[in-house]
Chain A
Amino acid sequence: MTAIASAIASAVGGRRAALWAAVVFVLLCAASLSVGVAGLSDGAPLELLLVSRLPRTAAAILVGAGLAIAGLVMQILARNRFVDASIAGTEQSAALGILLATAVWPAASVAGKMAVAAAAALAGTALFLVLVRRLPPTEPFLMPLFGIVYGGVIAAGVTFVAWQMDLLQLLETWLNGDLSGILRGRYELLWGVGVMVVLVWWLADALTIASLGRDTGTGLGLDYERMMQVGLVIVSVLAALTVVVVGMVPFVGLIVPNIVSRLRGDNLRGALPWVAAGGAGLTLACDVLGRLLRYPYEVPLGTVLGVVGAAAFLWLVRGGRARG
């Protein structure tokens, strides 16, 4: 693993690396467009592309880029490299929000549910951030551990509410991310991710300064609290968008920023395109893999990423320890 990482590191040398990344990315898109039960050669290929494959590919790219960016911002907010929206209860809170919206207000539009989900995600994440302030800063791995349990508690709450409301069947669609249901007309909300990405790009320098901490940030003239609030909103909206449209997708926001940081450093403006592209690439790859593993059946994206992501996180934890 380390050998591969260092090979990538030496290959990543600016322009050439970007070129290689672009090639890989195009190949992944092509794979995503061509893999599926219905062949592109029979029937109406253009129709199939426009209605199903293109939306699905776009959704994977948007979800991946959005979650990776959300993870990056989350890590700045928590001042800890080992958290993301799925490890800070953000996605679980969003699921709780949708569930409540569905139960209390079944006729709500998708946008309305999305708003409730975002509000719930905001509350859940804010509570997480308040609680982790009590954790000792000398133990960086305590925060993800805590986050996993925290997310588990919220998920248990979600199950409890779903059971009360007789909505257990619906639950699976929110708790386990899946792109197989994505068709034209069912994913357009995700373009909101693009808006958020532009916002993060615009704020990149301020966020980099915020990542140095409150004192340094304030010393450099940053309104630290305001920045934290903006970041919280960004993370919550990104997580809510993802959960509403495709369901919970774990680990993307954790793995990608960590690998990019090891390869390209911590200046946000430089890292941002890599994080977005890396998240999109990882999600596309896992989605294609899920379609191929038990062809013609599908394995959901959340399941594939659960395996890939947990394995990669384990590697990060062990690698992090080896570095002292």
Chain B
Amino acid sequence: MIAIDGVSLTLQGTPILHDVSATLPKGELIALIGPNGAGKSSLLSLVARLIPLQSGRITVDGLPVDRTPGRRLARTLTIMRQDTGLAARLTVRELVGFGRFPHSRGRLTDEDRRHIAAALAEFDLTELAGRTLDALSGGQRQRAFVAMAFCQGTDYLLLDEPLNNLDMMYGRQMMRILRHLVDRQGRTVVIVLHDINYAAAYADRIVAMKDGRIIASGPPDAVLTTDGLEAMYGYRMPVHRIGDRLFIPHHD
């Protein structure tokens, strides 16, 4: 369980988050939605300790993120980023191998190698294992990064807008992989999404933010209503139900 309690954040004099509290249960796919500047990415970065906590309290499975040693936390929670810094010429195998760093500090054991092989197989990357990242397509690279996070073996996986730059096919593939992680492996996935239809289709729970506050939280049926969406985005859009799916044509 991720417990967020009374968290506020001010960056360079600009208030970003105002007294945010939320409880994100374990074993669910949770989508953060809301307009630009709502504070979704900042909240995610705070949970992942990429930004130091200024006030309030965040715990992940009871571990306070600001006081738990980084290495301990890295075995419970990870955030997936696509920025490789200097390491664009890593091979897929090397990248996925970094997922074992919190466990073995870079000196790979046989067990680590088994995990890496399993992750490569799980994400259908075995054939690409020797390729470098800059020689992959966008979708393949996304998969490699999720495979690394998978290999890290953490119960919690945070993703900041992972669908950016992906076409429909890769977007769907990514969401199915994440769904799979939740359903089969019992992991917890927290994901920032822009497209509310993806959130409607794949999330167990939706947390809606606006102006640095959480304005709604609950299952898609409860949060994605015409009134709720108007409060978030400032205009009315119809919410249709097709089968057991919600469908929201927001682009009239």
Any chain A CB within 8 A of the CB of B62? no
Interface assignment of B85: CB less than 8 Å from any CB of chain A: no
Q: Which residues of A contact B13 (CB under 8 A)?
A: 322, 324
Q: Which residues of B contact A322 (CB under 8 A)?
A: 12-13
Give every chain A residue within 8 A of B12 (Cβ-Cβ).
321-322, 324
Give the B interface residue count (CB, 8 A). Answer: 3
Alpha-carbon distance A324/B14, docked complex (angstroms): 9
Residue-wise interface mask of B (1-41) relative to A, using a CB-CB cutoff of 8 A (1 in contact, 0 not): 00000000000111000000000000000000000000000
Residues A294-324 near B (CB distance < 8 A): 321-322, 324
Assembly CA distance A284 to B197 (angstroms): 65
User: How many whole Å from B118's CB to the nearest CB in chain A?
Assistant: 37
What residues of A have a CB within 8 angstroms of the CB of B14 in the complex? Answer: 324
Q: Is the contact region of chain B dominated by helix, strand, or loop, or is it mixed?
A: loop
**A contacts with B: majority SS:** helix
Chain A, residue nearest B12 (CB): A324
The 0/1 profile, CB within 8 Å of B marked 1, for residues 254-273 of chain A is 00000000000000000000
Contacts of A324 in B (CB 8 A): 12-14
The CA of A324 and the CA of B10, in the complex, are separated in Å by: 12
Q: Whole-angstrom distance between the alpha carbons of A44 and B13 in the complex?
A: 62
Docked pose: A322 CA to B13 CA in angstroms: 8
Question: A324 → chain B, closest Cβ, in Å?
Answer: 5
How far apart are the CA atoms of A322 and B14 in the complex, in Å? 11
Question: What is the CA–CA distance of A322 and B12 in the complex, to the nearest angstrom?
Answer: 7
B151 CB → nearest A CB, Å? 30
Whose C-beta in chain A lies nearest to the C-beta of B11?
A: A324
Binary CB contact string for chain A from 220 to 247 against chain B (1 if under 8 A, 0 otherwise)? 0000000000000000000000000000
CA distance A292 to B14 in the complex (A): 46
Residues of A57-88 at the interface with B, using a CB-CB cut-off of 8 Å, are none
Closest chain-B Cβ to A140's Cβ sits at a distance in Å of 15
Whole-angstrom distance between the alpha carbons of A95 and B13 in the complex? 44
Q: Which residue of chain B lies nearest to A321 when distances are taken between CB atoms in the complex?
A: B12
User: What distance in Å separates the Cβ of B90 from its nearest Cβ neighbour in chain A?
Assistant: 21
A321 / chain B contacts, CB cutoff of 8 Å:
12
A52 CA to B14 CA, complexed, in Å? 55
Q: How far is the CA of A304 from the CA of B211 in the complex (A)?
A: 49
> How many angstroms between the C-alpha atoms of A322 and B11 in the bound complex?
10
A324 CA to B13 CA in the complex, in Å? 8
Within 8 A of A (CB), among B94-141: none
Task: Report the minimum CB–CB distance from A277 to chain B (whole Å).
Answer: 33
A163 to B14, CA, bound (A): 54
Closest-by-CB residue of B relative to A323 is: B12
User: Distance in Å from the Cβ of A229 to the closest Cβ of chain B?
Assistant: 35
**Distance A164 CA – B13 CA, assembled complex (angstroms):** 54
In the bound complex, CA of A321 to CA of B13 (Å): 11
Specify the chain B residue showing the minimal Cβ separation from A324: B12
Q: Closest approach, in angstroms, between the C-beta of B228 and any C-beta of chain A?
A: 32
CA distance A324 to B11 in the complex (A): 9
- CB-nearest residue of chain B to A322: B12
Closest CB in chain A relative to B84 CB, distance in Å: 15
> B158 to nearest A CB, angstroms?
23
- Using a CB-CB cutoff of 8 Å, which residues 166-193 of chain A contact chain B? none
Kindly provide the distance from the CB of B39 to the nearest chain A CB, expressed in whole angstroms: 16
A324 and B16 CA atoms in complex are apart in Å by: 13
Contact with A along B224-252 (1 / 0, CB 8 A): 00000000000000000000000000000
Q: Which residue of chain A has the shortest Cβ distance to B13 in the bound complex? A: A324
Going nearest first, the 6 A-B pairs with the smallest beta carbon separation are A324-B12, A324-B14, A324-B13, A322-B12, A321-B12, A322-B13
Binding site for A on B (CB under 8 A): 12-14
A-B contact pairs, 5 of them (CB 8 A): A321-B12, A322-B12, A324-B12, A324-B13, A324-B14
